[in-house]
Structure 1
Amino acid sequence: MNKIFWNGFCFVAVMIALVIYACANRGYPQGGEKDETPPKVIKEVPESYSTNFKGKYIDIYFDEYVQLKEINNKFVMSPPAKKKARVSLRGKYIRVTFQDTLLPETTYTLDFADAIVDNNEGNPLGFYRYVFSTGPKLDSMELAGQVIDMESQLPVLGAMVLFYENHADSAAMLELPNYVARTDSAGMFRVTNIKNTTYRILAIDDANRDNKFMPEEEKVGFIDSLVTTMAFPVVVYDTIRPDTVVLEGRRTKKGVELKVLTQDTIVRRDYTAFGPSNLFIPMFDEEKTQLYLVDGDRKERERLDFIFSIPAENRLSVRLRGLHLLEKEDQSDWFLEERSAGRDTIQLWIKDSLVYKIDSLTALVTYLRSDSLGKRELFTDTTRFYFKDKPEPKGRRKKDKDTIPEIKFMEVNVGVGGTADLNKGIRFDFDRPIHEDGFKNIHLFEKVDTIWEPADFTMKRDSLKIRRYELGTKWKPETEYKLVVDSMGIYSIYGLYNNKIEKTFKTKAEEDYGKIFVQVKNAQTPIIIQLYQGDKEVKVLEERWIEKDGKVMFDYLNEGKYMIRGILDRNGNKKWDTGNYLKGIQPEEIKYLPVEINLKKNFDVEQEFDASKTYKREDPSKKKNTENKDNRRNRSNR
């Protein structure tokens, strides 16, 4: 009986403990609602918009603890000082300490953007600006606008906009600006409390943060003409909450019935606006003109590489020294030259085995390079080129003398898969220069019924890349072909042969392609119409040049989405030309058509491009965010 009682007592005790635990858990704190209230400024010492400021620092107090988020990137003091002001965090207040002497009789603006956030959730204070004057009055004029990257037509974030009272072009490189502003994510800028005068305005990316422009090193944009501040009256009519007006009353059985009428109250507001506030600055990379040799190296035993700073005529000449076989005036026959389109990359393939087998080569290298004044002069330097074969990995078992060595083949990349386009050839890329007489060992067959019949073709070498060739022929639609390269049929100038290559593929049907016709209207200059894909990273697929109004065609296009942009080719040289600040040249305008063409197979699409219209390109990042929101909405509705 005692045992039964004891078991029952334990059971009741356990149940009571579980109930108490559950009740205790029910009241456990979960942290409450998320704090979404931004911090508030409760005191400024001295107060913002103070005059006759003589201090060394200012303090700004908040109603809660705050943090400084990317303060070095977001804080802007205007006018700028040689020694930048220091912003320090002190719990519930921040201190701005001036490390340089402030200018007399000058209005200063401290722009914190959204760098001040609360300590818990990171809620931003907002775009906070503090203003004071070292003189008896505050300047009150303003200027505002937008900075756009001319090539991408997208807003530029974090560009520094410089305002100069000195109108000389050179002031941007030699002097601190009178005022500065930084662009936000929309490329917008606004400078307040500036003098009422005329300014030269430019924008730079200011890589070294010195508030000065470095030509060819930093992106730049400028306004062609000088800008004068102005103030003008503005009248705005606002509609406020309706008033209730009693018009009449009449007696009924239930009492007096009132007829009422509500009418809006229109209020006139007069204020002063400052501007201009619609300034537009197209930003661009200047064409680099400083020519010099970036690198001269020997990455492979048989090859010397030379990389120059810019595409330009460099008159490179390399003369080997210390080799009796090459001690002669004409040394042009010891190498094959391969170069990029602008000659900024040049590769010299050494033909003579007696030369490339030497680990250390000495050469006199002569080329054009820019001096301190930008003038290009011939320069000669003695250069050593080293190459040493990599040692075999440790632990590798030594092969017996009787073991047959592994055959090493020349690497060949043949650009064809299971299908081939009707308008393209087959590209061959060899890893070494080759002897072209081996092309007789390349065979192309066309399948007629069930029989492989030989097909005619040509092999054409690329004008620049001497190791690249293209096989060309007139392809028949929906036809099966076979490409065969005989084993050891092609050999390089270094004695390596190819392994056997055999590829079978089929050409596409005419109906697999679509066409896009672009009708160009109101062209005042020649235009380059480019067909591209991609959003932020634009991949130009094809382009057409048209001198005046007319129609251009893009054919043999696969099914997919395409976009169009037009370059207003002012000088008619069939390429986009950038600008130059010191020469006062703006970059050629690029217009992105805000239409995505969804091309289907066997369809033709006609699209108008009006060169006189201003097209605004949609920011790809915002477009992607919108698509993500739509996708989440669609998933939630399932």
Structure 2
Amino acid sequence: MNKFFWNGFCFVAIIVALIIYACANRGYPQGGEKDETPPQVVKEVPESFSTNFKGKQIDIYFDEYVQLKDINKKFVMSPPMKKKARVSLRGKYVRVTFQDSLKPNTTYTLDFADAIVDNNEGNPLGFYRYVFSTGPQLDSMELGGQVIDMETQLPVLGATVMFYQNTADSVPLTDLPSYVAKTDSAGMFRVTNIKNDTYRVLAIDDARGNYLFVPSETKVGFVDSLVQTISFPTTVYDTIHPDTTVIEGRRTKKGVEFKVLSKDTVIRRDFTMFGPTNLFIPMFDEEKTLLYLVDEARKERERLDFTFSVPAEHQLKVRLLGLHLLDKVDQDDWYIEERSAGRDTVQLWIKDSLVYKVDSLVAEASYLRTDSLGKRVLLADTIKFYYKDKPDPKGKRKKEQDSIPAIKFMEISAGVGSTMDLNKSITLEFDRPIVEDGLKNIQLFEMVDSVLTPVDFKLKHDSLKIRRYYLEKEWKPETEYQLSIDSMGIYSIYGLYNNKLEKSFKTKAIEDYGSIIVNVKEATTPIILQLYQGDKEIKVLEERTIKGNGKVVFDYLGEGTYMIRAIIDRNGNGKWDTGNYLKHLQPEEVKYLPTEIKLKKNFDVEQDFDMSKTYKREDPSKKKNTEGDKKRNRTNR
């Protein structure tokens, strides 16, 4: 056996041994490439686009096992039926069973959106749509467009868009639509295979799933005018490369050079287009108009609370009942009224101790309420209020009897921290209505040459929240101040005094602030400019109103990122007004400037805002995903 034979034999033996070892050792199986192929439709029974359909069900077969994802939300049958079609999964096929009678000579579409996915990786089939007709012909017209939330200027996902051949205004409140469609994540919708006709188009947030619009309760949007379907021929020209080439040769000093000669071919394609497919639907919440008393309560001994359904003038008046009170209490002056900013919450502070010391009170409340005809009428209601003091913890009462009882003080909230903005006031809020004579005991000191010196200020009373006051002062920059209220200086109408209050703070420097100057252009109505921060949860920091073109200054701003939006205040009432479907009133337009203004200390930024332009607001959720992807990419590198 020579050397070369022996070396070859050893090499083969090693290879065989490695193979046997690999087969004998069963490790964990290695996964292959991720399946990204969506399921494919292999058969439809009957086939899509069939006519003269008479059956009760449709079966759709796939090349693999599938799942139904959010089918109840995504599946849409158009025209809709009172009893919705049932979609069931049968392994490698999906069955649609009709539970109501189909209309004669009608084209139906079954839109599954992306609800059909494969069983392993959840790859969606895509926007699958099945079409059939109960008559001899298929309708071919279509409509499409986009639904946008008017206040946020973001696409509305899952809105139900309804199309009515009966164009009366009240039809969406009582009848099923002629056709329906759903919006995707971009707010886009498309309804196909509909009749050539004129339609009223409406979009709602159909939480009940009954295709009916409930005014002031359902989010709604509508196209201003009736929509007529159209079709028109169009031509598309495509450039294609030839299948064959020609090679041309020619002699040069360097030899023979070859050149490939080819000529592109222009192909004309004729189509029929259907539409319009650019319908724009601004969606909004109608102003709630049903007025009624939601709740009444006595959360504190001295206070009665009334909560109404909507902010409105309700003309609330409360009169005490009970023989033990009628002769002893002035019915016209037994409480102080306090209201919320929206006037939907009312608190009555009982002034007379003869009343609030009674555990059980009976009162007659009269207020406006919406009746069955939609009119506001005065209603009188008898209400019982009950309050009982909370029992003391076990042993606490006895312990207090053997010791000096703790003094109970009136609580004061002072809205100031360690630093104070130069353009802000101090908010003082008391937990009970106070006797205003005690406000003279509030003192403000300014540090002058290391000595706290008393300075003047103004107190402003809140017009609605009677327990709130604003301390206003023209602050000096980079200056130390102290707010002081001596104990027993202020007392409530119930005889409770305040504990001592001292708040020391320092004002900021002028250099700590920046300004944003907005140049409003092409404004034809009054404009409300709002400076805000945040994406999903918008926090409006300040707002300014301008009657037309001009400059708007937001000053005393700290370092940070700011954004601006504009309300087109067409009626000039200084606030954003929503729309109303039955009154054919669209909401006021809101424009979001798609520019983040990054402001630094001691800097001014000037920004143009053209009201004649259409601005597209970026979806905050997609924006965050993009930033996350960028961060991951940087990490991977």
Q: TM-score, normalised by structure 1?
A: 0.93
Residue 118 of structure 2 is matched in structure 1 by 118
- Give the 3-state SS of the residue equivalent to 2:147 in structure 1: strand
Aligned partners of 1:56 and 1:97 also within 8 Å:
yes
Q: Any residues of structure 2 matched to 1:79-158 within 5 Å, and which?
A: 79-158=79-158
Name 1:174's counterpart in structure 2: 174
Q: 1:358 to 1:96 in 2, by over 3 A?
A: same
Q: Does 1:610 align with 2:610?
A: yes
- Tell me what 1:629 maps to: 629
What SS class does the counterpart of residue 437 from structure 2 fall into? helix
Q: For residue 561 of structure 1, what is the aligned residue in structure 2?
A: 561
Query: 1:238 and 1:172 mapped to 2: Cα distance?
Result: 44
CA distance in 2 between partners of 1:241 and 1:482 (Å): 83
Identical aligned residues as a percent: 76
- Residue type at the aligned position of 2:474: K
| Correspondence 1:455-470 to 2 at 5 A | 455-470=455-470
Deviation at 1:184, TM superposition (A): 0.5
- In the TM superposition, residue 82 of structure 1 has moved relative to its aligned partner by 0.5
Contact 1:483–1:504 (CA<8 Å) still a contact in 2? yes
Deviations 1:317-342 (A, max 9, x none): 11011154444895232111100233
Per the alignment, in what secondary structure is the counterpart of residue 492 of structure 1? coil
Q: 2:364–2:381: 8 Å Cα contact kept in structure 1?
A: yes
* Correspondence 1:485-496 to 2 at 5 A: 485-496=485-496
2:636 partner letter: S
Give the CA deviation at 1:190: 0.2
Deviation, 1:240, is: 2.4
Alignment-derived partner of residue 409 in structure 2: 409
Q: Which amino acid aligns with 2:625?
A: N
Partner of 2:348: 348
2:181 partner amino acid: A
Q: Partner amino acid for 1:496?
A: L
Supply the distance in 2 between the matched residues of 1:253 and 1:424 (Cα, whole angstroms).
Answer: 88
Question: What's the counterpart of residue 497 of structure 1?
Answer: 497
> In 2 relative to 1, CA 239–364 (structure 1 residues): closer, same or farther, beyond 3 Å?
same
Q: Which moved more, 1:21-30 or 1:428-437?
A: 21-30
**Residues 444 and 516 (structure 1), Cα distance of their counterparts in 2 relative to 1, 3 Å cut:** same
Distance across 2 between alignment mates of 1:175 and 1:24: 72
CA offsets, 1:35-55, max 9 Å, x none? 222111111111111111111
Between 404-413 and 461-470, report the one with greater CA deviation: 404-413
* Cα distance between partner residues in 2 of 1:85 and 1:489: 74
SS class of match (2:263): strand
Tell me the alpha carbon deviations over residues 118-167 of structure 1, each in whole angstroms, 9 at most, x when there is no partner.
11111111111110000011001111100000011000011000000001
Please tell me the residue identity of whatever aligns with 1:188: M
Q: Aligned with 2:35: secondary structure?
A: coil
CA drift of 1:407 comes to 2.5
For residues 586-621 of structure 1, what are the alpha-carbon distances to aligned partners after superposition, in whole Å with 9 as ceiling and x for unaligned?
Answer: 111111111111111111111111111111111111
2:440 corresponds to: 440
| 2:599 equivalent in structure 1 | 599
CA drift of 1:22 comes to: 8.4
DSSP-derived class of the 2:628 partner: helix
Contact kept, 8 Å, 2:444 with 2:456, in 1: the verdict is yes
Contact (CA 8 Å) 2:147, 2:282: kept in 1 or not?
Answer: yes
- C-alpha distance 527-24 of structure 1, shift in aligned 2 (>3 A): farther
Give the Å deviation of 1:252: 8.9
Measured against aligned partners, the alpha-carbon deviations of 1:552-599 in whole angstroms (never above 9, x if no partner) come to: 211111111111111111111111111111111111111111111111
Structure-2 residue corresponding to 1:538 = 538
Residue aligning to 1:389: 389
Contact 1:244/1:261, CA 8 A, preserved across alignment: no
CA positional deviation for 1:96: 0.7
Indicate the residue corresponding to 2:511 in structure 1: 511
CA, structure 1 residues 475+264, in 2 after alignment: closer, same or farther (shift >3 Å)?
same
CA distance in 1, matches of 2:373, 2:288: 14
Kindly tell me: are residues 21 and 474 of structure 1, through their superposed partners in 2, closer, same or farther at Cα, counting changes over 3 Å?
farther
Q: After the TM superposition, which of the residue ranges 53-62 and 382-391 deviates more from structure 2? A: 382-391
CA distance in 2, matches of 1:273, 1:400: 88
> Mean Cα displacement is larger for which, 228-237 or 173-182?
228-237
Superposition deviation, residue 31 in structure 1:
3.6
Q: 1:400 to 1:392 in 2, by over 3 A?
A: closer
Counterpart code for 1:387 = Y
Letter paired with 2:153: Q
CA drift of 1:533 comes to 1.1
1:296 corresponds to which residue?
A: 296
Structure 1's 108 and 395: CA in aligned 2 closer, same or farther, altered over 3 A? Answer: farther
Deviation readout 1:396-418 (Å, 9 max, x if unpaired): 68416321222322222111111
Deviations 1:355-378 (A, max 9, x none): 112111100010000111111110
Q: Is the Cα–Cα contact under 8 Å of residues 159 and 203 in structure 2 kept in the other structure?
A: yes
Q: Are residues 67 and 393 of structure 1, via their aligned partners in 2, closer, same or farther at CA, if it must alter by over 3 Å?
A: farther
Deviation per CA, 1:417-472, whole angstroms, max 9, x where unpaired?
A: 11001111111111111122222322211111211111111222111101111111
2:198 equivalent in structure 1: 198
Q: Which position in structure 1 is the counterpart of 2:337?
A: 337
Change (3 A) 1:448 1:195: same
Counterpart check, 1:72 vs 2:72: yes
CA separation in 2, counterparts of 1:628 and 1:492?
54
SS of the counterpart of 1:594? coil
Give the drift of 1:242. Answer: 5.0
The answer on whether the counterparts of 1:244 and 1:260 sit within 8 Å (CA) in structure 2 is: no
CA distance in 1 between counterparts of 2:21 and 2:449 reads 84
SS in 2 for 1:110: strand
User: Residues 476 and 174 (structure 1 numbering): CA distance in 2 closer, same or farther, change over 3 Å?
Assistant: same
Structure 1 328/139 Cα, relative in aligned 2: closer, same or farther at 3 Å? farther
Q: Which amino acid in structure 2 is aligned with residue 185 of structure 1?
A: S
Q: Distance in 2 between matches of 1:456 and 1:22?
A: 92
Paired position in structure 2 for 1:274: 274
1:531–1:317: structure 2 CA closer, same or farther, 3 Å change rule?
Answer: same
User: 1: CA distance between counterparts of 2:563 and 2:54?
Assistant: 58
CA distance, structure 1, for counterparts of residue 513 and residue 255 of structure 2: 82
User: Is the CA contact (8 Å cut-off) linking 2:520 and 2:549 kept in structure 1?
Assistant: yes
Contact 1:76 1:182 in 2 (8 A): yes
8 Å contact from structure 1 (residues 301, 356) kept in 2: yes
* d(CA) in 2 for partners of 1:551, 1:483: 37
Does the C-alpha gap of structure 1 residues 139 and 407 become closer, same or farther in structure 2, counting only changes over 3 Å?
same
8 Å Cα contact 1:42/1:62 also seen in 2? yes
CA displacement 1:47-106 (0-9 Å, x = unmatched):
111111111111111111111111110000000000100111111111111111000000
What amino acid is aligned across from residue 509 of structure 1 in structure 2? A
- Please state if 1:241 is matched with 2:268: no
The 3-state SS of whatever aligns with 1:263 is: coil
For the aligned residue pairs, the C-alpha RMSD in angstroms reads 2.2
Tell me the residue number matched to 1:589. 589
C-alpha distance in structure 2 between counterparts of 1:611 and 1:260, whole Å: 56
Aligned residues of 1:321 and 1:327 also touching (Cα < 8 A): no
Q: Does the CA contact (< 8 Å) of 2:248 and 2:261 recur in 1?
A: no
Moved more, 476-485 or 232-241: 232-241
Q: Which structure 1 segments of 5+ residues have no match?
A: 1-18
Counterparts of 1:57 and 1:497, CA distance in 2: 79
Deviates more, 1:390-399 or 1:500-509: 390-399
Deviation at residue 179 of structure 1 after TM alignment = 0.2
- Give the direction of change, closer, same or farther, for the CA distance of 1:438–1:157 in structure 2 (3 Å limit): same
SS at match of 1:270: strand
Distance 2:397 2:23 in 1: 73
2:59 aligned partner: 59
Question: Using the alignment, how far apart are the partners of 2:257 and 2:464 within structure 1?
Answer: 96
1:316 aligns with 2:316: yes
